[in-house]
Structure 1
Amino acid sequence: MVDLIHVHGSHNHFYILDQTELNTPLVHDELVALAQKFCQKNAFWPGADGILVVDEPTHSGPVGKMTVVNADGSIASMCGNGLRTVTRYLSEKTGQKEFTVETAEADLRVAQAADFAKGVPAFSVEISPVLFNKEAFPFDNLGFDNIVNEKLPAINDHLSFTAIAVPNPHLISFVDSDQDLKETLGEIGQRLNGKNQYFPDGVNVNFAKILGPNKLFVRTFERGVGFTNACGTGMSATSFAFALIHPEMIDLSQSISVFNPGGMVKTNVHPNAEHPWIELIGNATFLDKVSLDESDLHQAKLEESNFTITKTNEETAYQAFVESL
């Protein structure tokens, strides 16, 4: 029997699969099939936004390597909410409190942080690199080589946008109305993640409301997933855009509180460093452990009778934290 750990960061849900514990690691096509099957919700299975695959690092230094497989089977460059949960998993496995994790684009610094509340463990992760060039997305046919607070009539008739890759590609707009946060975001998100001439590989779309100094609400339409309760790289990229476009609303010596449909995280933006980056701090909640045969993983076999679940009580503490916000 092997275990999948059902986790969430700001109710961005995942299953952690530690391939170092398997007799035979899953190959790429098997991981794609696993995500497409195990991330779908049904009567006996809660589903998730993706699979977080832990492997041995490919070089010295990092404690482990994380690969993110979205619910549709596509591979994401990074996942901030997911990285926090993988950080907790590796921290508890190794006993280390501060280390690096290999991701597709970079080795990222991670660490245990102060609990957000009683029973709500929190972890800090580096979000980088920060890129603006159109090749990093890619985008085209918009008339710009980089987009910072620009009107894009081809996409929308009244909003301004900023494009930041961290390295996941994000399109960001600061909005005032709930209609934009819902209908407009959904329409743009669906259009730019279907066949289109502007973002041919798709893009994560983030709409934000400024709630006050150092305070945001962010909602994300995530590439490969759709609307999510939260997107860690999206909240990080939006925080960076906040610092660029509305510097009068930010004290960079203090954390930004970023609220989302699944809770709240904190970010620290470092825009003036030689290596610009964002620190993302938030919960890493373990919901339950799913035990099943390794052969079922290879076959992406999911039936009501082929697994057992051992639950934790951590969600009760997390919900109490959310209600206190």
Structure 2
Amino acid sequence: MTSQPIPFIKMHGIGNDYVYINTFDFSVNKIDLPDLAQKISHRHYGIGGDGLVLICPSIKVEIKMRMFNSDGSEAEMCGNAVRCVAGYAFENNLVSQRKFNIETLAGIIGIEMFENTMVRVDMGCPILESINIPVHIDSETVVDHPISTSHFKGRFTAVSMGNPHAVYVVTDVNSLNLELIGPALETHAYFPNRINSEFIEIISPEEINLRVWERGAGETWACGTGAAAAITAGNLLGLLDKKVLIHLKGGDLILETTESLDRVWKTGPYSMVSTGFFYYNSSDLPSQNTQKGEQITC
């Protein structure tokens, strides 16, 4: 079978790395995107990344973003990926102003570009109602709720930033074996759509360490929506201020929220890594996703 050359851009937001395709210039309409996401994201056989992101035209605003985890599942939003999409769009004249909007499955995201590679992202309004996150717990909101698996006992606060998060306060994030802890929490019966898990170690009310287990991707070096969930949960617990410096494995983010916790903003950098062609053959590697064969348009 002849391989199809697909032009790609590799970018990362403080280590949360994705492979990007500019669909303004290259059509993906006849490609099995869940299958492509698995293959192009593979750390040994592909380009390598936490997933695949499509930079698309939008009929609503300036730009649209679609993203697939490295297991082929589609996700609603990623705060680090949206910064990279914003940076690429601005640098390549897909937008003409420093303030613009990006359409995602989680909603419309407001962007502000600064003079350097720093981007401020309006992460929107946290969703706290358990039924809308969703969390299968008979409570209107889920704050400091106990949870237990074979490798972890803790308490979590549930927040959605357009995608679901469970935030845990721990004493030492570096002591956690997330390869054991993450999968069991991700698929716990409380979480019908699976869950992203954030583990925060509080240095002060203005500074925390954060590790993230992303559903469908495993541990990632950074997560923008996870950082937004972390500042929200920390405020609900009365542990954090309204502006927090967050240290992740890949670097630092600044998160801000309001007194009423009805909005979150995130500021951080994006980095271009490389461009090139990925030679895609649908038979190269076995697909793990049941959506194989599905053709999806932007």
Whether these two folds match at TM > 0.5 is yes
Structure 1 distance, partners of 2:150, 2:260, is 30
Structure 2 distance, partners of 1:3, 1:157, is 42
- Is this contact kept in 2: 1:67–1:104, CA < 8 A? yes
Structure 2 distance, partners of 1:270, 1:287, is 34
- In the superposition, relative to structure 1, how do residues 286 and 210 fare at CA in structure 2: closer, same or farther (>3 Å)? same
Report sequence identity in percent: 25
Q: CA RMSD for the aligned pairs?
A: 2.5
- Is this contact kept in 1: 2:113–2:119, CA < 8 A? yes
Structure 2 distance, partners of 1:154, 1:6, is 36
Which position in structure 2 is the counterpart of 1:165? Answer: 160
- Is this contact kept in 1: 2:102–2:110, CA < 8 A? yes
The one-letter amino acid of 2:38's match is: Q
The one-letter amino acid of 2:277's match is: S
SS in 1 for 2:127: coil
Which position in structure 1 is the counterpart of 2:84? Answer: 85
Within the candidate set 158, 175, 182, 1:189 is matched to: 182
The one-letter amino acid of 2:146's match is: K
- Is this contact kept in 1: 2:151–2:180, CA < 8 A? no
Q: CA deviation at 1:154?
A: 7.0
Q: TM-score when scaled to structure 2? A: 0.85
SS in 2 for 1:206: strand
- Is this contact kept in 1: 2:123–2:263, CA < 8 A? yes
Q: CA deviation at 1:268?
A: 1.0
Q: CA deviation at 1:192?
A: 3.0
1:62-118 C-alpha deviation (Å, 9 max, x unpaired): 211001111011111100000000000111122421100111131110011353xxx
**Unpaired segments ≥5 residues, structure 2:** 286-298
Which position in structure 2 is the counterpart of 1:152? Answer: 147
Within the candidate set 24, 30, 33, 2:32 is matched to: 30
Which position in structure 2 is the counterpart of 1:210? Answer: 202
Higher relative contact order (CA 8 A, sep 6+): 2
The one-letter amino acid of 1:132's match is: L
Which one is further off, 144-153 or 227-236?
Answer: 144-153
- In the superposition, relative to structure 1, how do residues 243 and 193 fare at CA in structure 2: closer, same or farther (>3 Å)? closer
Q: CA deviation at 1:188?
A: 3.8
- Is this contact kept in 2: 1:80–1:232, CA < 8 A? yes
Tell me whether 1:100 sits opposite 2:97 in the alignment.
no
- Is this contact kept in 1: 2:253–2:268, CA < 8 A? yes
SS in 1 for 2:267: strand
- In the superposition, relative to structure 1, how do residues 10 and 215 fare at CA in structure 2: closer, same or farther (>3 Å)? same
Structure 1 distance, partners of 2:114, 2:251, is 17
Tell me whether 1:284 sits opposite 2:287 in the alignment.
no
- In the superposition, relative to structure 1, how do residues 67 and 157 fare at CA in structure 2: closer, same or farther (>3 Å)? closer
- In the superposition, relative to structure 1, how do residues 33 and 154 fare at CA in structure 2: closer, same or farther (>3 Å)? closer
The one-letter amino acid of 1:39's match is: S
SS in 1 for 2:77: coil
Q: TM-score when scaled to structure 1? A: 0.78
For 1:273-312, list aligned pairs within 5 A.
276-291=262-277, 296-297=279-280, 299-300=281-282
- Is this contact kept in 2: 1:38–1:300, CA < 8 A? no
Tell me whether 1:226 sits opposite 2:228 in the alignment.
no
Structure 2 distance, partners of 1:103, 1:73, is 17
Tell me whether 1:55 sits opposite 2:56 in the alignment.
yes
Structure with a larger share of its residues in helix: 1
1:171-221 C-alpha deviation (Å, 9 max, x unpaired): 001111347x513x5444211334x42212210011000112310111011
- In the superposition, relative to structure 1, how do residues 92 and 224 fare at CA in structure 2: closer, same or farther (>3 Å)? same
Number of residues of Structure 1 aligned to a counterpart in Structure 2: 279
Q: CA deviation at 1:16?
A: 1.3
Structure 2 distance, partners of 1:300, 1:290, is 19
Within the candidate set 8, 11, 14, 1:7 is matched to: 11
Tell me whether 1:16 sits opposite 2:20 in the alignment.
yes
Q: CA deviation at 1:244?
A: 2.1
**Unpaired segments ≥5 residues, structure 1:** 116-120, 304-325
The one-letter amino acid of 2:235's match is: A
